[in-house]
Amino acid sequence: LQGSGLVCGVAFFFLLPLHSAYGDVSYSFPEEMKRGSVIGNIAKDLGLEASRLSARNARVDTEGNRKRYCDINLSTGDFIVAERVDREELCGEKMSCILRFDLVLESPLELHRISLQIQDINDNTPIFPKDTIKLEIAESAFKGARFRVNAAHDADIGQNAVQSYTLQRNDHFALSVQTTVAGSKYGELVLDKELDREQQQELKLLLTAVDGGTPQRSGTVVIHVTVLDANDNAPVFNQAVYKASLPENSPLGTLVLTVSSTDADEGMNGEVTYEFSRMSDKTRKVFTLNHVTGEMTVAGALDYEDESKYEMFIEGKDGYGLSSDTKVIIDITDVNDNAPVIYLQSLTNPIPENASPGTEVGIINVQDRDSENNRQVRCSIQQNVPFKLVPSIKNYYSLVTTGELDRELVSDYNITITATDEGSPPLSSSKSVQLSVADVNDNPPVFEEQSYKAHVTENNNPGSSVCSVTARDPDWRQNGTVIYSLLPGEVNGVPVSSFLSVNGETGVIHAVRSFDYEQFRSFKVHVVARDNGSPPLSSNVTVSVFITDVNDNSPQILYPAPEGNSFMTELVPKAAHGGSLVSKVIAVDADSGQNAWLSYHIVKSTDPGLFTIALHSGEIRTQRDISESHSMKQNLIVSVKDNGQPSHSATCTMYLVISDNLAEVPELKDLSYDESNSKLTSYLIIALVSVSTFFLTFIIVILAVRFCRRRKLLFDGAVAIPSAYLPPNYAEVDGTGTLQSTYNYDAYLTAGSHTSNFKFIRSYNDNTLMLVFGFEL
């Protein structure tokens, strides 16, 4: 029952007074005293005899199996500390901590209660639950925000427990110490100045808790403040303006530049993505931007000539949409990618061949779309042409001639203009210009020969060709078209045109009439070759016509006179000896050469053998002596023959009278002379009359035709009279006997030879030739 009473005594500890009246004793003693420390003297306090304690077997009992914290010195009666007493262990946070003992004495049994109040000493320091306190505070926290810090714990109680806290000096936080309802104290960090994660990402604050004991004890903890990011920073580009220079024609995918920005924030707040903000559509097609890396690459064709500078803005945006932008300027540098282009602005084509050196033929413009050196263009043409390029203003060049042109040598030029720029590598282009040289009539026709000789046998057919002349003119078309004509002139007082005609186109020279070698043997004409240019150029050549003889004339016997006209008689002396010259036959032949080489023969004679005739001289000689037996009248028929092929001959009769006296000769008369004379006169009269009549008729016809034409004009005669139509240079000659107008035709020797000086009309009878000279009606 006592034991349980002691246990219960703990429960109503507060109710009991320390010094109870039942012989009990109370002590108060600090904890943690050394073993053997004397708490008090029980023997004295209880009034017991110390010497008897041992005898009475005094002992201190504790309840249960609790440790024996205290004991009694039996020899002195002192109540002493037997074991270390730790108040905190025994009583924790209880304000009152009382240990109860029983002092048991035997013989007689005596029981005394001893209560020992353990006094707290400041033997514990304030302790924070963890070594470090981690606090995460958003940087966006406002001033005044409070953050509670776990309280420090001190096992001691009362004044020895945590009394206050102190915070290490810092910029941002102040400490406010709070007391709970239970009375314990804790600290609160009060944000005194806003945090900036970007400035200071974490803070370490030393918080010290102190108790109220003496000596004072303290415990510290490190408050680790991590400043949490708030998206309070926009991305910031490293450069305000990015500049890059890029050659044109850079391949797709070429990296242009990389923009980068930093965002002081972290996490999503600091994750920057890039995109184009302000840019033209054109620019948009040419560049792409990697949203994550900020690499800008070429995505389209870059053409310096199209656009030499690109400007755009790139926006950098963080995860929560804060953004900023930067300007990007990209300069495209020129690459020599455009060949020069040659424009032919004007061209004089064809150029007349007489253009003087230095004549401007064309204007050329050269353009190169590149810039600077790449657009510096040099222009040239090939060497071997008489042209050059003269630089003019800007990129203009004049194409001028450098020398004389001669169409007859070179009529076409292929001028290749080459333009090369000064880029590296240089580009060039060329253009071919066709130039023709226009003809100028600068070449007179030139005869192939210095002079021409023609041989014509006489009695030729009118219209037969005599020879032909050819002249060449290297000029073009009409400037080189040669027309032949005869130079007017006279041969023996007769116009040359009555002898020859020339075909204006072919140069074939025709005889207009039959020539007679016996009339003239040669003549000269001048043939003019004239071109058709304007003005025309001409040259002339001499054509010598030699008429060759034909045996067309019979020998003509001059003596003796032809038969019938006179009876010439030669007297032969009777005494003539053989070999004496009797007479001579004289004959001539109009032909020449062999054709006129005459031989004489006696064809028939009265007394053959009496006379001989010299073969070539025609001298008639006696062969024998004349004798009486010979007949007085001797007739010789002499034939005179030329040597032509075939030969012609004439005969005559030589009357010889062998007599010494002329009176002996009978019947010598001459009648025919007068008769023929009067006949000739009457023929002449008739001829005169007919010519006069013809002439008169002719005049009348001309007048009539003229009159008719005028009437036609006046009265607008609708009736065409085909027969009255006459070609301008053609004269129809009325049939008045001499001309056969019934069947005449225009005997142009060559078709279309209107350029011939004359025409002739051939009558039905092929042998008669009429020449009609230029009567213009």
Ligand X SMILES: *[C@@H]1O[C@H](CO)[C@@H](O)[C@H](O)[C@H]1NC(C)=O
The DSSP result for 243-308, as a single string, is: EEEEETTPPTT-EEEE--EE-SS-GGGG--EEEE-S--HHHHHHEEE-TTT-EEEE-S---TTT-S
How many residues touch ligand X under the rule CB under 6 A: the total is 18
* CB closer to ligand X, 326 vs 479: 479
* CB closer to ligand X, 270 vs 480: 480
Of the candidate residues 235, 316, 533, 555, the single one contacting ligand X (CB under 6 A): 533
* CB closer to ligand X, 225 vs 433: 433
Residue 451 within binding range of ligand X, rule CB under 6 A: no
Residue 367 within binding range of ligand X, rule CB under 6 A: no
* CB closer to ligand X, 58 vs 256: 58
For the CB of residue 432, give the shortest distance to ligand X in the complex, in Å.
Answer: 5
* CB closer to ligand X, 412 vs 563: 412
For the CB of residue 47, give the shortest distance to ligand X in the complex, in Å.
Answer: 19
Residue 353 within binding range of ligand X, rule CB under 6 A: no
Q: Which stretch binds ligand X (CB under 6 A): 25-33, 432-440, 491-499, 581-589?
A: 432-440
**Rounded-to-integer distance, Cα 138 and Cα 63, Å:** 57
* CB closer to ligand X, 220 vs 479: 479
CB 392 within 8 A of CB 407: no
List strand residue ranges (DSSP E) for 449-585, in order.
451-457, 465-468, 471-472, 482-486, 490-491, 494-495, 500-502, 508-511, 522-531, 538-548, 556-559, 569-572, 581-584
Of the candidate residues 29, 310, 447, 476, the single one contacting ligand X (CB under 6 A): 476
Residue 73 within binding range of ligand X, rule CB under 6 A: yes
For the CB of residue 442, give the shortest distance to ligand X in the complex, in Å.
Answer: 7
**Rounded-to-integer distance, Cα 647 and Cα 596, Å:** 10
**Rounded-to-integer distance, Cα 606 and Cα 476, Å:** 81
Q: Which stretch binds ligand X (CB under 6 A): 38-46, 69-77, 571-579, 728-736?
A: 69-77
* CB closer to ligand X, 304 vs 447: 447
* CB closer to ligand X, 283 vs 540: 540
Residue 479 within binding range of ligand X, rule CB under 6 A: yes
**Which among 252, 253, 274, 250 has a CA at the least distance from the CA of 263?**
274
What is the 3 state secondary structure string of 57-103? CCEEEECCCCCCCEEECCCCCEEEECCCCCHHHHHCCCCCCEEEEEE
Residue 392 within binding range of ligand X, rule CB under 6 A: no
Q: Name residues whose C-beta falls within 8 Å of residue 39's C-beta, 6 or more positions apart in sequence.
A: 27, 29, 33, 70, 78, 79, 80, 81, 116
Residue 76 within binding range of ligand X, rule CB under 6 A: yes
Q: Measuring CA to CA, how many Å separate 538 from each of 48, 452, 686, 758?
A: 189, 17, 50, 21
* CB closer to ligand X, 540 vs 606: 540
Of the candidate residues 45, 102, 154, 439, the single one contacting ligand X (CB under 6 A): 439
Q: Measuring CA to CA, how many Å separate 437 from each of 413, 445, 509, 658?
A: 8, 20, 35, 95
Q: Which stretch binds ligand X (CB under 6 A): 89-97, 321-329, 477-485, 561-569?
A: 477-485
For ligand X, the binding residues in 614-673 under the rule CB under 6 A are: none
**Which among 364, 365, 367, 309 has a CA at the least distance from the CA of 338?**
367
Of the candidate residues 150, 380, 428, 540, the single one contacting ligand X (CB under 6 A): 540
Residue 487 within binding range of ligand X, rule CB under 6 A: yes
Radius of gyration of the chain (CA): 83
Question: Rounded to the nearest 5°, which phi and psi values hold at 615?
Answer: -60, -40
Q: Which stretch binds ligand X (CB under 6 A): 325-333, 437-445, 662-670, 700-708?
A: 437-445
* CB closer to ligand X, 385 vs 772: 385
Residue 362 within binding range of ligand X, rule CB under 6 A: no
Of the candidate residues 220, 336, 398, 441, the single one contacting ligand X (CB under 6 A): 441
Q: Which stretch binds ligand X (CB under 6 A): 46-54, 532-540, 550-558, 729-737?
A: 532-540
**Which among 623, 552, 615 has a CA at the least distance from the CA of 582?**
623
Of the candidate residues 179, 239, 262, 414, the single one contacting ligand X (CB under 6 A): 414
* CB closer to ligand X, 46 vs 614: 46
For the CB of residue 449, give the shortest distance to ligand X in the complex, in Å.
Answer: 13
Residue 219 within binding range of ligand X, rule CB under 6 A: no
Measured from the Cβ of residue 328, the count of other Cβ atoms closer than 10 Å reads: 25
**Rounded-to-integer distance, Cα 396 and Cα 127, Å:** 99
CB 307 within 8 A of CB 244: no
* CB closer to ligand X, 136 vs 490: 490
Q: Which stretch binds ligand X (CB under 6 A): 73-81, 251-259, 504-512, 694-702?
A: 73-81
**Rounded-to-integer distance, Cα 504 and Cα 482, Å:** 8
CB neighbour burial string for 396-418, b if at least 16 within 10 angstroms, e if fewer:
ebbbbbeeebbbbeebebebebb
**Rounded-to-integer distance, Cα 752 and Cα 734, Å:** 25
Binding site for ligand X (CB under 6 A): 73, 75-76, 412, 414, 432, 438-441, 476-479, 487, 533, 538, 540
